[in-house]
Amino acid sequence: MVIEMAELPIAPITRLVRNAGADRVSEDASQALVKELERYGEKVARKAVSLAKHAGRKTVKEEDIREAIE
């Protein structure tokens, strides 16, 4: 059995859900949201890296992230 460590900490994600109006948040719900946010973040990051490389840069800039999200 392989245990994967999340890149994002659970506590701030739980706070996000509470700030969205939840009274209580299960550990499973927080972990599920972490997993989805990490997947989405990696997808955006890969596209941003591609955009930076296409522009001839090694540095990913804010504009790359914004463009990757659109």
Phi-psi group of 8: left, alpha or beta (phi > 0 → left; psi -120 to 50 → alpha; rest → beta): beta
pLDDT of residue 28: 96
Q: What is the pLDDT of residues 19-57, one digit of tens each?
A: 999 999 999 999 999 999 999 999 999 999 999 999 999
Q: Provide the whole-model pTM.
A: 0.84
Closest listed residue to residue 62, CA positions, set 38, 54, 43, 51: 51
pLDDT of residue 5: 73
